[in-house]
Chains A and B, each alone.
Chain A
Amino acid sequence: MPDALAKLPKQTYPIALSAVDANYLDHEDDFLPGVVREKLWEIFVEIGRAWGNVPNDSAGLRSSWLEFIEAKVTRSPSYAGEYANAVSVMQELAGVLGRDWAYQQLFFNSGVSPKDPPVTRLAHLKRYVVDEFIAVQITASGFRGFADSIFSPNRPLNYAGFVRGSRYNERPSARLYPRQQPAGTAEVE
């Protein structure tokens, strides 16, 4: 196993390993330029690729992700500073390590402890962007892809936070025990 990102020489990664406050990073305004948004989307897509749990490069999750990003940027505390930081750090890591290896290391060997306060720019990227994108991806249906196959009939149908979409009334909420109580005991259905 190579050294974790957090253990690499600081002089090689002056942005990623520079010290910052553990609190949310400030930004001039609560606006997210399109170019930043698309760089962030790239991180989100790479999460699905790395774990192989979402089909079609996460295209089906983009609307959920956009809604999440919008809520994070326009509501307090704004993540505009975190997102600008993420793009800068990612650019540096990809420049030195190469894009694919940078993502591999970031996801599986960052050396950033989830328990410690994030006091480097790299730690901010991991905590406030990568980790949160992972949670969004899982709740937006990524949980299913850890069953036998993404298309397995036995995979779970629900998970904390998963909202099924506009046809929810026609789809089962969960895998049900096949032997149920006698039906027809309610007034309405």
Chain B
Amino acid sequence: MMAKHYQYVLIGSGVAAVTLARQLLANDRATSILILEAGPRVPRGDRRSWWDYILSQRKPYDFCYDVPGENTTNGDVDWGYEGSRIMAYGGSTGHWGAWCLRYKPEDFELFSNTGEGADWPISYDDLDAYYHEAEHYLSVNGDCGESWNAVRAHQPYPRPNFGWTEADGLMVEAFEKNNIEPGAMPVARYRKCMATGTCKYCPIGSRYTAQDVLDELVQDPRHVNLEIRCLSPVVRLVPDRKSNIAAAEYLDTKTGETLTATGDVFVVAAGTYESPKLLMRSKDRFWPDGIGNDHDLVGRYIVSHSFLRVSGSLPANERNWVQEFDFPTLMSRTLDAPEYQLDGKIFIFKNRVLPNVDIARLMIQGKTRDQIRAILSGPMFFELQAFYEEKGQHRNRLVERSGSNRFGLPLMTVNYLREEKFKERADNRLALMKPVIDAMKCENVVTNIDDPGGHHASGTCRMGASPEQGVTDKDMKVFGTDNLYVCSNAAFPTCAAVNPTLTLTAMTLRLSDYLIGNVTQQVRQEMFA
């Protein structure tokens, strides 16, 4: 069968691929784009599925998670794969919390500031306007009055922030007693958000998901050359010379047939796990160690956030506080500041589900009204949580191993060792958090350091100033190629202390401008040749 040719072949269908497709199509509705997605399409907005979620916490996309034990870890931590990504049409925005925080200027200069980690080959200023555009695209609700937002003085959020809940009040005051500025969590929510507390499967599509945007793109009759193929994992990329990728070979898992798509531009937007795996297994005479891997960097520097937690309890809950939103409304970036960068910045926030009592469960257990009221008014629990910033290390690496998962994606191992000073540094950060819980007069205070997990994994195809420093350049183009890009958290040289998706969206908008500019330039050159 003759391979079909496209201007753009996008691998993956998460926020990066979908945002890129949206921008390319907005520029030229006739642009030919093929999106290859390994996973299935899971219906959204289905009322039965939503009720099932209410009743059992069972989500319709649960089967699209990594199966426990399938992927492995070597090292001194147990890398958390479970529940961290959705392999499906729309990617992990199907379950994300939609916390949208910008990286801060110092995050782009980590190595210069600390002698550890890496610098980005771009600065905050290069991304500033794209952050603003991304916040509008994702419909972020936020508060510009916070001190850390001074950097964005002329860029208000498109939506006002959600207020602190009454149950946040104690922690707000405890922050202030510790000279920590309380802030509002910026989250991507449309105006119709009804705060039903079921954000992981919103019944009204109020939270941004790439799937909804992709559906709109597909249904738009002007997009005659847009194709999406689900259940189609890419097997390898095929160059016809070292600098040019000619084709993507992919598997139709419904038929078992291997198909080929040729293209002008290839964008790997398959996340921090799949992007390096695809490059590594695309070996040929031009790239004997895999595409972009001449310097043995693909898959290295994998890093994510470790989760720090300080919890405690108060003896009574007189106002029967329960968590009334399913997302945190209280956070602070006071400890996510340059002076904390060397030992690791932390982004702190109140546990989104506490205090809480599952009233229905108590009724199901046969508790009486009086018993339930006593529990509601009894001890309540609070927890202050933090993402702790770690630095990417050369020795840490994601590698493929034999076998594949149910969607035809190769299994993997993460080799991961903590930084040498990790424990000491993390304990220092817990020591900054604990006074907050103490100031709330909580009892039974407990601190925890969780293992890192895949939710915010990054770094495996990181950008660098040169091929010796990174897999991709400042435009996320793979060094040594002219038409291959990695548009993913995989390209991030650092993971900062906050969630990566807003930054990824901004980077994608920047890439789309670059690609559209390149095409325009190419057309001009051809016209005047």
Contacts and interface: CB of A to CB of B under 8 A. Distances in A.
B144 A186 contact: yes
Interface stretch (B123-131, B364-372, B406-414, B475-483): B364-372
Interface string B61-104: 00000000000000000000000000000000000000000000
B222 to A, nearest CB: 28
A52 B55 CA distance: 21
Contacts of A159: 197, 322, 324, 359
Contacts of B196: 158, 160-163
Interface string A31-59: 00000000000000001000111000000
B38 interface: no
Interface in A136-188: 136-139, 142-143, 146-148, 154-164, 168-169, 173-183, 185-188
A174 B325 contact: yes
A188 B195 contact: no
Given A53-B369, A134-B364, A188 B159 contact: yes
A142 to B, nearest CB: 8
Given A51-B363, A158-B197, A175-B324, A185 B54 contact: no
Closest 7 CB pairs of A and B: A160-B197, A174-B324, A158-B324, A186-B160, A75-B48, A175-B166, A173-B195
A142 B365 CA distance: 16
Nearest to A181: B143
B3 interface: no
Interface in B426-465: none
Contacts of B360: 134-135, 137-139
B384 interface: no
Q: Which of B48, B141, B372 counts the most chain A CB atoms within 10 A?
A: B48
A185 to B, nearest CB: 4
Contact of A185 (B143, B194, B321): B143
Contacts of B205: none
Contact of B359 (A146, A164, A180, A185): A146
Contacts of A176: 163-166
A180 B157 CA distance: 17
A69 to B, nearest CB: 10
A95 B517 CA distance: 79
Contacts, number: 160
A155 B165 CA distance: 13
A2 interface: no
Interface residues on B, range: 35 or more
B172 interface: yes
Q: Which of B163, B172, B373 counts the most chain A CB atoms within 10 A?
A: B163
14 contacts: A75-B46, A136-B55, A146-B320, A147-B320, A147-B376, A163-B204, A164-B194, A169-B191, A174-B195, A175-B166, A176-B163, A177-B163, A177-B165, A186-B157
A185 B163 contact: no
A107 interface: yes
A97 to B, nearest CB: 16
B161 interface: yes
Q: Which of A108, A132, A159 counts the most chain B CB atoms within 10 A?
A: A159
Contacts of A120: none
Interface in A65-87: 67-68, 71-72, 75
A158 B359 CA distance: 13
Interface string A93-137: 000000000000001111000100000000000000011101111
Contacts of B163: 174, 176-177, 180-181
A28 interface: no
Given A176-B165, A187-B158, A157 B324 contact: yes
A189 interface: yes
Contacts of B172: 177, 179
B359 A143 contact: yes
Contacts of A160: 54, 196-198, 323, 326
B197 A162 contact: yes
Interface in B149-196: 156-169, 172, 183-184, 191, 194-196
Contacts of A164: 194
B500 to A, nearest CB: 24
Contacts of B315: none
A158 B356 CA distance: 12
Contact of A135 (B48, B54, B165, B368): B54
Nearest to A69: B51
B368 to A, nearest CB: 7
Given A67-B47, A146-B373, A160-B196, A186 B164 contact: no
B166 A186 contact: no
B290 interface: no
A177 B166 contact: yes
Given A186-B142, A186-B143, 13 more contacts: A108-B368, A114-B364, A135-B364, A138-B359, A143-B359, A148-B320, A173-B162, A174-B166, A179-B169, A180-B164, A185-B156, A186-B158, A187-B157
A147 B47 CA distance: 29
A177 B174 CA distance: 14
Given A146-B372, A163-B203, A173 B320 contact: no
Given A107-B366, A108-B368, A154 B322 contact: no
A155 B322 CA distance: 10
B198 A161 contact: yes
Q: Which of B146, B165, B166, B366 counts the most chain A CB atoms within 10 A?
A: B366
A169 B193 CA distance: 9
A6 B290 CA distance: 64
Contact of A175 (B51, B141, B158, B165): B165
